[in-house]
């Protein structure tokens, strides 16, 4: 059969691949060379980010894995700092607006009227402690009640704050403290007679000052904010071993004594310049083990609040954000009969509505037992 020529203008077949070439035109390299490039890239990344990796290892749970990681990363991080290679990461993060989890870097915000900064109560000498720090705390259940436990009192010289002479409130916390602190700071500032300072840091607590030193941070805050009221919500990250040597295992009798002592010292420091202290407890958690651990933390906090001189006002959130029996629930029914979602899907943190529940509880405590006239 004779061959039919293609119509005019129809392109003919392209040239075939040259001998010895790959039809998809991809560059190929021997696998040993690829492996060397990957190893080199990993080593460059390791040296640049060694200080960050070391920082993350420090906050990880105490144990063999943490010890090995610190042993390996220690000299690499030291070399990175000595050669100032870590500055490349820091400066790049600063340019791109990425700060990461760096609790030591400033995250203190102040809103509200700032007039009359020098009109707070006169500093006083730290008061004594009643009973010392002991480790008593109940297992498996939440702290009693759903409100303050200290006797009613007033904030010295500040029952009627004004825009010219505002009440100064300092709010401290971990990530749950952020969930509560943001709404509380806004609500306080919206009264027009409160200057509210929020200093809250993720992944922090009183167990690991090697990661973030809250007593040192509080000492700085007392000097800059000069608060008349200090509101604290810290503890979600504290159920872990105290790093040694020697390590002190979590939930051991020695751990309870050490932790109670740190809580007592922190409360004492918060009161040292004359401020009234409100301590907001942790809510129940979705995971039963964590819920039980935080119930123990709350019990220790509540006991130390009662032993403080003057007493610290402990506000339990156990039934405020849980069932009437103190069990975990993502939804609660508010006073208007509305069902409100108060917990995030991780079963740990608070939704904005959940944070608002605690914020309003603190506001009501300021207006009620503390007799502060807030709009």
Q: Tens digits of per-residue pLDDT, 319-351?
A: 999 999 999 999 999 888 899 999 999 999 999
pTM of the shown model: 0.70
DSSP 3-state of 144: coil
Cross-strand pairs, 148? 315
DSSP, residue by residue, 80-137: HHHTT-HHHHHHHHHHHT---S-TTS--EEEES----TT-SPPP-PPPP-SS------
C-alpha to C-alpha distance for 69 and 57, rounded to whole angstroms: 6
pLDDT at 5: 57
Instruction: Tell me the average confidence (pLDDT) per consecutive run of 10 residues in the chain, 375 residues long.
Output: 55 54 68 86 82 62 70 80 65 52 58 58 34 36 55 69 96 96 96 96 92 95 97 96 86 94 98 97 96 96 96 97 96 91 96 97 96 93
pLDDT at 48: 78
By the 8 A CB rule, do 299 and 235 touch?
Answer: no
pLDDT at 183: 97
Mean pLDDT (the chain) is 81
pLDDT at 104: 41
C-alpha to C-alpha distance for 40 and 61, rounded to whole angstroms: 30
Q: Tens digits of per-residue pLDDT, 74-109?
A: 788 778 767 766 567 656 655 654 444 444 444 688
């Amino acid at each position: 059969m004779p061959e039919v020529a293609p119509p005019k203008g129809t392109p003919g077949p392209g040239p075939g691949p040259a001998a010895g070439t790959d039809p998809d035109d991809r560059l190929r390299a021997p696998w040993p060379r690829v492996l060397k490039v990957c190893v080199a890239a990993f080593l460059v990344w390791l040296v640049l980010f060694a200080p960050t990796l070391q920082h993350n290892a420090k906050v990880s749970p105490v144990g063999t894995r943490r010890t090995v990681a610190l042993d390996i990363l220690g000299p690499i991080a030291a070399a990175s700092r000595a050669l100032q290679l870590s500055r490349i990461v820091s400066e790049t993060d600063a340019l791109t607006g990425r700060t990461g989890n760096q609790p030591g870097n400033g995250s203190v915000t102040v809103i509200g009227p700032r007039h009359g900064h020098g009109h707070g109560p006169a500093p006083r000498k730290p008061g004594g402690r009643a009973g010392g720090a002991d480790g008593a705390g109940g297992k498996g259940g939440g702290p009693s009640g759903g409100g303050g436990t200290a006797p009613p009192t007033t904030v010295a010289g500040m029952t009627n704050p004004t825009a010219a002479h505002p009440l100064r409130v300092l709010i401290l916390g971990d990530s749950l403290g952020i969930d509560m602190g943001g709404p509380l700071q806004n609500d306080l500032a919206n009264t027009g007679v409160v200057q509210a300072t929020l200093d809250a840091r993720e992944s922090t607590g009183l167990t690991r000052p090697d990661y973030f030193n809250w007593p040192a941070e509080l000492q700085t805050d007392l000097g800059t904010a000069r608060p008349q009221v200090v509101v604290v919500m810290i503890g979600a990250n504290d159920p872990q071993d105290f790093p040694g040597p020697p390590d002190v295992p979590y939930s051991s009798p020695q751990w309870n004594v050490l932790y109670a002592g740190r809580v007592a010292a922190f409360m004492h420091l918060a009161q040292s310049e004359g401020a009234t202290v409100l301590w907001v407890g942790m809510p129940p958690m979705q995971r039963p083990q964590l819920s039980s651990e935080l119930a123990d933390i709350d019990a220790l906090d509540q006991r130390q609040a009662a032993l403080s001189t003057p007493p610290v006002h402990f506000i339990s959130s156990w039934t405020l954000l849980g069932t009437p029996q103190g069990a975990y629930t993502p939804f609660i029914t508010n006073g208007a009969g509305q069902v409100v979602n108060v917990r995030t899907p991780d079963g740990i943190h608070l939704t904005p509505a959940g944070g608002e529940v605690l914020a309003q509880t603190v506001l009501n405590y300021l207006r009620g037992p503390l007799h502060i006239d807030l709009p």
